[in-house]
């Protein structure tokens, strides 16, 4: 299984911190600042083991819409939706997606990766 993850976060500092943490855990990380950039990365035929996306982002779609797109187009990709501002309504995330509240501790991130079957 690939150990490549796609991190989608519009706040550069949060994205960099999350990417650095995941890299330190042994994952290959691609970064995108919004859903439009994420769609470009996905279109390059990369096989991502997981998508970690913020909810509130500028661009053509928010993180929940991106999560649904990825769930329907890349069925093997695990999905983690993150936010410090919003709590998704019951049933609004794709089946099997996880929600993580910001700020994300390394412990919470490790637990979510473990649930997704992605052990560092």
Sign of CA dihedral 77, 79, 80, 81: positive
CA 102 to chain centre: 13
Domains of the chain: 4-115 (3.40.50.2300)
Mean pLDDT within 46-53: 92
Of the listed ranges 7-16, 41-50, 96-105, the least confidently predicted one is: 41-50
Mean pLDDT within 67-91: 93
What does the alpha-carbon distance between residue 113 and residue 120 come to, in Å, rounded to a whole number? 8
CA 32 to chain centre: 10
Mean pLDDT within 69-82: 95
DSSP 76: T
DSSP 56: S
């Amino acid at each position: 299984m690939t150990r490549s993850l796609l991190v989608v976060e519009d706040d550069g500092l949060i994205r960099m911190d999350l990417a650095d943490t995941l890299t330190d855990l042994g994952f290959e990380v691609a970064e995108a600042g919004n859903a439009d950039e994420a769609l470009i990365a996905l279109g390059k035929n990369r096989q991502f083991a997981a998508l970690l996306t913020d909810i509130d982002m500028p661009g053509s779609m928010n993180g929940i819409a991106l999560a649904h797109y990825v769930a329907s187009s890349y069925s093997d990709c695990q999905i983690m939706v993150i936010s410090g501002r919003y709590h998704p309504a019951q049933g609004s995330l794709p089946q099997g997606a996880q929600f993580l509240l910001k700020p994300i501790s390394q412990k919470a991130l490790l637990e979510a990766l473990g649930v997704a079957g992605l052990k560092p």
